[in-house]
Amino acid sequence: MVRTSPLRGGGLEFKSRPAHQKGEQMMDEAYKKAVNLVIKNIQKAGRYITAFNTNIDAIVKVNSTSLRINKKTEEYIKKSLSSGFKREIWKIEDLYLALFLSIKRGKADEWLISRKEVYDDIAKRFSPIELRMGGQAGIMANVLGALGVETIVHCAILSEEQCSLFEKNVYAVRKMNGEYKVVPVKDAAKKGIYSTYNWIFEFAKGTEFKTETLQAIAPRDNRFIATWDPKNSKMEIDKDFKDGICGLLKNVEWFVVSGYQLLRERYNGETYADRIKESVSLLKEIRKKGVKIHLELASTHSLKIRREIVKKVFPVIDSLGFNEVEMTSFMEAMSKKVIDEHDSVSLYTGISEIMKKYGNIRRVHAHDLGYYLAITKNYLPTEILRDSLLFSSTLAATKAIHGRVTRKNIKDGLDTPISERGKEMIKKLSNHLNDENFESSWCMELNGKSLSAIATKVVKNPVSTVGLGDTISI
C-alpha cells in the first residue's frame, strides 16, 4: 500500500532497544521520524486504483432528543430483541432498532435500506449537517489524492455532485472519441445523473437512547450507516471502467477493492454469487498484468456472502485489511472461532491462520481500538512495516481531528496522545510472543515473516469516525 512502497531502503533503527527504555517521548519521536520519512518519499509511489463503492454520505449527529421514539417503535424494538431480527431496514422501526444496538454496543455497523419509501422517510426525519465523500473506494481515493498520489477511482454514479467531492489527483476512466482515457474525475461527470445518499448516524461516547423500558448508553464514539445504494449494492461496474481499465495500468502498483458488504443474497434473475464472479474475473485479469490486489473488508452480515468472498475473492488477492469485528465474522466463514475479538493475541492468531490457509496473501493489516497489527511475508522489512503503521495512525488521527486529510495538515495528528489501551495490548502480545523487546520496538521477524504492532493515536472528540478504517488501510 502507499504507506509502505515509498519507504524501501529506509527505516528507524531502534528495534534493539531494551524494554526499560520505552516511554512516551521515545514513541512520539518514532512517530515523527516515520511521518517525515513517508512525506519525503511519497512522490515515489506509483498509481493506485480504488474500487468499487463510491457514494455520498449524509452526516447526522444523533443525541437523546433525535432518538425519541413512540410506544409502537419501543415495542417493536423489544420484540425484535427477544425474537430475532434481520439486519436490514424494511421500515423506519428497523432504523431505530439498529441505532439502539449500535449505541448500546458502541459498535460501528451498517444495514441496507430495502425500500425507497424508507429512504425517503429518513430524509424527512433527519437533516444532515454535512455531505461528504463516502464509500471505501471514494474515501481512500481522496486520502491518496490529498497525499499527492495519482489515483484512478471507480464510481458507479458519476454525478456532478459526486464528482465535486473528489480531491485533486483523482481520475476516472472515460471513453472519448472511441478511446479509453484517464481523465480528472471532475471532468468525467455526467450531466442529468442524480445522487443518492448513505445516512451516517454518528454518536458520541455517553449518548443515551432511553425509553421507559429500554436504555442504551454509548461506551465510545462511533457510527451507524443506513445504506441506500442500488448500484453499489449490486456491485455494478461502470462500463467504461470495466472495458478500459486493463489497458490503462501503466505505473499502477495497487488495485484496492472494497464494497462486497453491500451485496444482497438475491436480485431479479441473479444472486450475490453472480455479482462476485463478475468482479473476480476483472481482478484476475488485472492481477495477471502485475498489479497487486488489496481487499478491504467491512461488516458483511450474510454468512453465505462472507463464505463466497472467502472462497472466490481471497484466492486472488495479495493483501487484506479489516477491523477486529470483521475478522471474527470472516473467521466464522472459514469455520474458525475467535476466542476474544478485542484481544491482540486473538487478532494475531486470526491473521496467522488466514495467511497459513491462503498462501497468496502476503500482507494482512488489522485495526482495533488503540492499536494496529500487521504481518507480511516476502514483502517488507520489519522496520519499514512498523513505520508505515505509524504513518497510517497519524493520518487517521488527522482525519478524526479535521474530517479530511490534506498535505498541509498531515502532521496535526502527531499531537494526539498515544492510546493506553494500545500499549496494554502490545504488552500482552509481547508476552505471548515471549519477546520483551517487542514491547518497545513494536516490530520483529518471526518464522520468516515481518510482524509489527503499534499503539495508535486516538482522538478524544473526533469530528467524524467515518472513513477512519479506510484511511488506516491506505
Can you give 284-310 as a three-state secondary structure string?
A: HHHHHCCCEEEEECCCCCCHHHHHHHH
Taking the CA atoms of 466, 469, 472 and 474 in sequence, report the sign of the dihedral they define: negative
The partner residues of 322 in beta bridges, in order of sequence, read: 366
Catalytic one of 109, 229, 368, 470: 470
| Residues paired with 226 in a beta bridge | 111, 199
Terminal-residue alpha carbon distance, the chain: 6
270-271/170-176 β-pairing? unpaired
Report the alpha-carbon distance of residue 457 to residue 281 in Å, rounded.
39
Cα separation, 236 vs 371, in Å, equals 35
> Is residue 470 flagged as an active site residue?
yes
Judged by DSSP in three states, 343 sits in: coil
CB 225 within 8 A of CB 109: yes
8 A C-beta contact, residue 62 and residue 129: no
Cβ neighbours of 427 (radius 10 Å): 18
Residue with cell 409502537: 72
Backbone φ and ψ of 109, nearest 5°: -150, 165
Centroid of chain to Cα 221: 16
Sign of CA dihedral 250, 254, 259, 263: positive
Angle (CA) 210-92-226 rounded to 5° is: 90
Task: Supply the residues annotated as catalytic.
Answer: 470
